[in-house]
A and B are shown apart, each in its own frame.
Chain A
């Protein structure tokens, strides 16, 4: 399934025409100005939205505002290793990418968190390393086959200021291929260290929107490479950009109400299972997965 990226690059689809980008920007700017009037942000103290915060505000505002965004741990560390391995493969396609190389790459970039975590684990790090190794191989192989003409760049930063800078939406694309000035269509690659779930699509849609707003050209595809072996390929259509813009607009509305002092709503769901604020959240504690008999218990 990982060959999906190779298929996209071999036969990239025609991206949508850029005609609708200006209208999307205007609509988002209008939404941001309306939100600013409620939220009170300005250039010096703006609302800073990321893909995580956009999703968080729509999923459960109570959790999105939590000071505790969830402790790290072995699973998180594995995700970072997988992410780094994929980027290393994109940068050094001829190199053997393994856990040690990925951790060294992270450290060289200035992030020693994983190296320190492994050192703290001592011999117990072997399980983590083994888990990461199993996830890396296919991802790395997929990205290592990208030819240089696609201009692979890792952690490509993108930021869209709205409402005169009172709202900014920013992100770093794991791997960005093509796009101006390469003469090839843009392809967004998102790397996920865990298991595939449908909500991951939204990240690719948001990044496609941000890149379109930045570059004035719509990317052709968003490809999500997941370490469980899933490759999700989504060719960008105007409707997807519109949907991403609507989500972004709604997240600004939610943020505005929160900044104005409205109590955050609690929206229980599957995310409650690993929510760090669940102990203090009656709705979250009461939530049970569908089909769980305890859900209907008094």
Chain B
């Protein structure tokens, strides 16, 4: 029997995503970070001006990267979320080699949808309480997921306008399709993973949720659906912020915090890089720089606050631009081992057979596993 693998897991040690574009970071970052309670503090002195400058600089660099493209149609849409940012920076050769299939959204699956469904169900739970004019009770995760799934399929009631149909969003549409297809196994898997996301989120942040918390990337009146930015209407580039929530109101004074929740923290990129990407993406999308990024982890229970400053935003913008640059390079050459950067991802890389650096790395890595020699 083959070793037990997961076809949805491209990276060893990487567990369930918290949703499209919101996965992967490592709380064991060597970067200095300040721990603190989940509050919205910190902040640049001029959050609006900072975001304006970031937009201008990032637009200019993206335009520069695209300037050499003779046939813009050949480039296709360039979607820059955290996963693409991580992939393009950690091994440009591998990222280019993914091609259209790998660059695009692979479609919903339970592991990918766990976070999105958990957020949506929590947003629905909060919205229902708001509609009833009472404080939201502590949600029971599995029940909250089921209630949300049922609500997705229920039509809006009566003509009084008091119970409008539930906003589905992309993941909600998928759930309805799965339901219609009569696939209880997938629904159960989504419930398990979405419930786990919600349980971890609520456990780490506490209940009631912190004052001023708004869920992001979730449908419904109690959440903000999506944070996206395009450098200009003609550019094929979309930058997506994958944060799970926001602490505090967005005002010109800034000071709000992004919240990024991770179910697990495995062999991921450094925490600071993830925070940098989401902070930059949010500043670009909102037009106001966040004051900090609060990273929470379900498996460790940690809450780590990363203050946002110019250096962090520059790091995030750099990661965004790298994606665009590599997509442009990919027009000329896809996978090319000359700039391959070996890592644990080599074990699952489709190009390993053609990649001497990756083969050398895996040969070495095969002699050690989890910090111990392999005999």
Contacts and interface: CB of A to CB of B under 8 A. Distances in A.
Interface of A: 39, 41, 43-49, 53, 62, 64-67, 71-73, 76-77, 80, 87-88, 91-92, 95, 101, 104-105, 107-113, 116-117, 120, 148-149, 151-161, 164-165, 167-168, 170, 179-182, 214-216, 255, 258-259, 261, 264, 277
B371 A47 contact: yes
Nearest first, the 7 closest Cβ-Cβ pairs linking A and B are: A72-B1, A165-B28, A104-B185, A47-B371, A48-B370, A108-B189, A110-B8
B372 A65 contact: yes
Contact of A109 (B30, B192, B195, B264): B192
Interface string B89-124: 000000000000000000001110000000000000
Nearest to A121: B1
Contacts of A71: 1
B140 A41 contact: no
Contacts of B265: 159
Given A87-B192, A91-B188, A151-B140, 8 more contacts: A41-B371, A44-B30, A46-B371, A67-B366, A109-B110, A117-B1, A215-B203, A277-B375
Main secondary structure of the interface of B (DSSP, over half): loop
Interface of B: 1-9, 15, 27-30, 109-111, 138, 140-143, 183-186, 188-189, 191-193, 195-196, 199-200, 202-203, 206-207, 263-265, 297-301, 366, 370-375
Of A72, A108, A110, A170, the most chain B CB neighbours within 10 A belong to A108
Contacts of A155: 192, 196
Contacts of B203: 179-181, 215
B111 A149 contact: no
Of A43, A101, A110, A148, the most chain B CB neighbours within 10 A belong to A110
Contact of B375 (A47, A65, A261): A65
Contacts of B206: 181
Contact of A156 (B5, B7, B142, B196): B196
Given A77-B1, A95-B188, A151-B199, A161 B300 contact: yes
Contacts, number: 154
Contacts of A109: 6, 110-111, 189, 192-193
A109 B190 CA distance: 8
Given A170-B299, A182-B138, A110 B373 contact: no
A248 B187 CA distance: 38
A168 B27 CA distance: 12
